[in-house]
Amino acid sequence: MPDIQPLLELAVSDRDITLLKNACVKLDTMIKSCREELDQRLQEKEMKMEELKQIEEARKEIQFKFDLQDQLIGKLETQVPNIRNQKEYVASKKQLEEARKGRGQSEEMLLEMDIKMEELNTILENLAKVITDLESSYHDVADPLIENKEENQTKISEISTNHSDLVDSLPKPIKRFYDKCILNHMHQPICFILEKCCSGCNMMVQPQLVNELMANPSSYKTCPHCSRVLVYQPPVEEESGAA
């Protein structure tokens, strides 16, 4: 009669690891959901900061141009009244007018940029407050989820510690089958009969197969649907208290 214990232990190990991994995936989804609005606001903040940076860089160029025009205007305002040559006077006066016009345009652009920068700074200040509140709310909800996930990952690590030994203890034919399933990415190659179904593919199996396993728990069968190895784990009877 084959020793069914290694199969049972490995089935329990794989089942528990699968359940814990699925729980971690669900927790990740919940954690991500908690962060959605916060991430949106952080992205909005990043975009506004980038926009502010671009305006600041553009403003420096306009300011530099404005300062050059202002210097030129100051120089021309001093020189033009003293020019005696009519042709040179007309040319210099025209240059002064163009410089004043250019300075006026630069001044308008600087004013528009200052207004836009003020608006962006106000938006960023409001975003900072919203983000602070969202971060607080996120941690209130997500921290317990993250802690739960870390606990699950610790349990997975603990269960996985002797996993290789369990696989090595399998009967050789089943070990070959198990290794092949893992290479083909089939999870839980050894499964339990659970409510007359294969716990791997969740398909109902023939009543005769279930009865044979229940009648002989030291045996194993093959699932007709997914080809996994099926074992039966008798329910643990609770000890009754003393009368």
pLDDT in the model for residue 243 = 36
* Cβ neighbours of residue 103 closer than 8 Å, sequence gap 6 or more: 66, 69, 70, 73
- Are 106 and 114 contacting, i.e. CB atoms less than 8 angstroms apart? no
* Cβ neighbours of residue 76 closer than 8 Å, sequence gap 6 or more: 92, 95, 96, 99
pTM exceeding the 0.75 threshold for the entire prediction: no
Distances from the Cα of 17 to the Cα of 1, 14, 171, angstroms: 29, 5, 22
CA distance 143 to 140: 6
Q: Tell me the percentage of the chain whose pLDDT exceeds 90.
A: 71
CATH code reported for the domain at 13-161: 1.10.287.1490
Counting every residue written for the chain, the total comes to: 243
Per-domain boundaries in the chain:
13-161, 170-231
Give the residue-averaged pLDDT of 175-187.
90
CA distance 28 to 11: 26
Mean pLDDT for the chain overall: 91
